Chains A and B, each alone.
Chain A
Amino acid sequence: MLSIKNLHVSVEDTEILKGVNLEVKPGEIHAIMGPNGSGKSTFANVLAGREEYEVTDGEVTYLGQDLLDMAPEERAREGVFLAFQYPVEIPGVSTSHFMKTALNAIREHRGEEQLDAMQFLKLAREKMQLIEMDEKFLHRSVNDGFSGGEKKRNEIFQMAVLEPKLAILDETDSGLDIDALRIVANGVNKLRSSDNAFIVVTHYQRLLNYIVPDYVHVLVDGRIVESGDKNLALRLEEQGYDWVKDNDAVTA
């Protein structure tokens, strides 16, 4: 599904990712862990197409296409979804209008019928229940005045509506209390299938108590220095990141 080879990325002339390799197959959940400043968020954002990030070397193939050549909206329409670490507030755009426009853009791309307002509302209500959000949020402006936890839940709601093939969760667990963490994780688990894949970017192991990864990769200073199964995450929780920092880059 996703094949990343020797990915180098710079932000304002500073190299952040220094040769990342990763293979993701349908049905898999990959966790990317690492200390602050290791390049985790850069990794997540560059896959979604954020323009400030300059790819200086390497390639990313997604479903046989050159992902790096695609505009952010094309990636989304092809099934890539980024759950933002810091979702923006957009006063004046209602959540329902935003999601209906997004979903219909994706459906149009897939050659599917557009949903009208009633059909969309029915779908949106179902998805709201999935993440235990009050449907009043549909009528509020996107993330406007939402608490940190509400914003993160709204990301998962959007994911549930858009049903991506590849979802990248960028520190979705940060700023969540225990209830919200459980709700978010349940949402992800319900959406999980043999056809889609998740990349869970996180600093902590706690989300991985709920979302059990197939693979865990440790990102340090722009390179994946260690890969393993879920036990690697537990070891990181116990021992911190220091022991892996000196490892050489590995191919995941």
Chain B
Amino acid sequence: MDSEKKDIREWYQTAFADFENSLNGGASLPFHAVRKKAIARFAELGFPSTRNEDWKYTNIAPLLKHQFQPVAEAPDIAAESLAPFLFKGLDADRLVFVNGVYNEALSSVSNLPDGVILDTLENAFTTHADTVTQALGKTVSYEEETFSALNTAFARTGVFLSVPAGVVLERPLYILHVSKTEGREFLAAPRNLFLFGDNSQARLVEGHYNLDGGTSFKNSVTEISVGADALVEHVRIQDESKDAFHFATTQVEQATGSNYTSVAIDLGGSLVRNNLNVHLAEERCEAHLIGFYFGSGRQLIDNHTMIDHAVPNCESNELYKGILDDRAHGVFNGKVMVRPDAQKTNAFQQNQAILLSDDAHIDSKPQLEIFADDVKCSHGATVGELDDESLFYLRARGIGEQEAHAMLRLAFARDIFNYIKIDAVRERLEELVVERFNNKA
């Protein structure tokens, strides 16, 4: 095992040399020095084992059996093949990435309000060098954590969005990642930077889908800065191939009076690890961390969240729900830190799981660390099954067993979906989830 880990570590170091050669001009930009430090740090850190507390329930051994290749080019994709991933009736700006590579032909961006910058990170390295250099990596350090180091080393592109103070983005921004492996086990390391100015408003929708099954490794890092009194809704739908490895770190920094909502939906992936960290850095912030996952087969879906109440008078609300079938394994680790200064904090956390099979299981770890005394904090975790009485009631009205199961599962997830305020997205997601339930009922 340890030798395997060492081999695969060396594999990524070797792959980095190839990656550097593929960067052409990119290797001469200042950020490339950061990449080099990151790969060196990655070599020191190595891959975590389950002895590491943060990886106690999630064994990444299957990831280490593959040699994933960074890619500079992606296969062609017909515009029609995106249809299942678009939301009928949704008027959105859209950036499309295929195997992590930006595809301009499939993307469409309308006239944005004055001052808004929306570009690929690769372009922004030169067009907005100062802003990017200053902000990128400010909140997610390659020093501390393996997958952040690996992302930083292999970060070729991603999305750079900067919304100036007072600007409201009327149209949601849809970032669509599609995988088409064609048998090639690729590594994608999307790196996103979102800067929302004071009093700005925006809705982000991230989609991660695949076209042909197959194995891939996506390891993304997203840094989000939410300015004072800004309002940001962030929906993330992950429906990768059942053989895909999906690792995602999202770090959110909130300024005074800001409001950030994350709705994270995980349906696909073989091994999924989401780290969602929110730093409530100034007073009167509100953060909503909402999640739903459905795992079947041998899927492992791990959600690690961390909410850091650093100052007084902030509110966080966390609700994660999951349904696990077959031999699927769910992990929920919800850390809430209430620092000594953070008086008058309200922090609520709930996670609920339904197990459809005796072999499915969930590891649930609420972690409240409260160092202030005048706070309202609560957490609750429940694990159960579908209610037999409800099932009989539906069937006794003529509804088939499979459909009754699907209805009850959807009902369980309903309050999560209701956090998605964009009707077209919520409705399509419900359809998708029902399809998934029916395939697996």
Binding site for B on A (CB under 8 A): 48-51, 71-73, 75-77, 81-82, 84, 87-88, 90-93, 97-99, 101-103, 105-106, 109, 141-142, 158, 162
Contact = CB atoms under 8 A, between A and B. Distances in A.
Given A92-B411, A92-B412, A101-B403, A71 B395 contact: yes
Question: Which among B396, B398, B408 has the greatest number of chain A C-beta atoms within 10 A?
Answer: B398
A19 B410 CA distance: 42
B401 to A, nearest CB: 7
Contacts of A50: 392
A80 to B, nearest CB: 8
A109 B407 CA distance: 20
Contacts of B397: 73, 76, 98-99, 102, 158, 162
Nearest to A159: B397
A8 to B, nearest CB: 22
A107 to B, nearest CB: 9
B393 A73 contact: no
B415 A72 contact: no
Contact of A98 (B394, B412, B414, B415): B394
A43 to B, nearest CB: 15
Contact of A93 (B389, B396, B400, B411): B411
Contact of B398 (A51, A97, A109, A141): A109
A59 to B, nearest CB: 21
Classify chain B: how many residues form its interface, as a range: 20 to 34
Question: Which among A49, A101, A103 has the greatest number of chain B C-beta atoms within 10 A?
Answer: A101
Enumerate the 8 nearest inter-chain pairs by beta-carbon distance, A residue then B residue, closest first.
A92-B411, A76-B398, A92-B414, A102-B397, A72-B395, A105-B398, A106-B398, A73-B395
A92 B414 CA distance: 6
Given A91-B411, A92-B414, A93-B411, A48 B399 contact: no
A162 B398 contact: yes
Interface string B400-426: 110110011011111100000000000
A249 B31 CA distance: 91
Contacts of A142: 393
Interface of B: 387, 389-390, 392-401, 403-404, 407-408, 410-415
B294 to A, nearest CB: 15
Nearest to B410: A92
Contact of B396 (A76, A91, A141): A76
Contacts of A102: 394, 397-399
A48 to B, nearest CB: 5
A222 to B, nearest CB: 22
Nearest to B387: A88
Contact of A90 (B393, B395, B398): B393
Given A88-B389, A90-B393, A73 B408 contact: no
Nearest to A80: B396
A90 B399 contact: no
Contacts of A97: 407
A75 B401 CA distance: 13
A71 B399 contact: no
Contacts of A109: 398
A98 B407 contact: yes
Contacts of A99: 397
B390 A82 contact: no
A109 B398 CA distance: 9
Contacts of A88: 387, 389-390, 393
A84 B389 CA distance: 11
B323 to A, nearest CB: 13
A75 B414 CA distance: 29
Given A93-B407, A93-B411, A87 B393 contact: yes
Contact of A105 (B387, B389, B400, B412): B400
A75 to B, nearest CB: 8
Contacts of B413: 92
Contacts of B393: 84, 87-88, 90, 142
Contacts of B411: 90-93, 141
Nearest to A77: B398
A3 to B, nearest CB: 21
A248 to B, nearest CB: 34
A127 to B, nearest CB: 14
Question: Which among A75, A105, A141 has the greatest number of chain B C-beta atoms within 10 A?
Answer: A105
A162 B395 CA distance: 13
Given A92-B411, A93-B408, A73 B390 contact: no
A51 B408 contact: no
Contacts of B401: 71, 73
Nearest to B417: A92
A172 B414 CA distance: 30
A99 B392 CA distance: 15
Given A76-B397, A93-B407, A102-B397, 20 more contacts: A49-B395, A51-B392, A72-B396, A73-B399, A82-B396, A84-B396, A87-B393, A88-B390, A90-B390, A90-B393, A92-B410, A92-B414, A93-B410, A93-B411, A97-B407, A101-B399, A102-B394, A105-B398, A105-B399, A105-B400
A92 B396 contact: no
Contacts of A91: 411, 414
Contacts of A93: 407-408, 410-411
A49 B407 contact: no
A48 B397 CA distance: 10
A73 B400 contact: yes
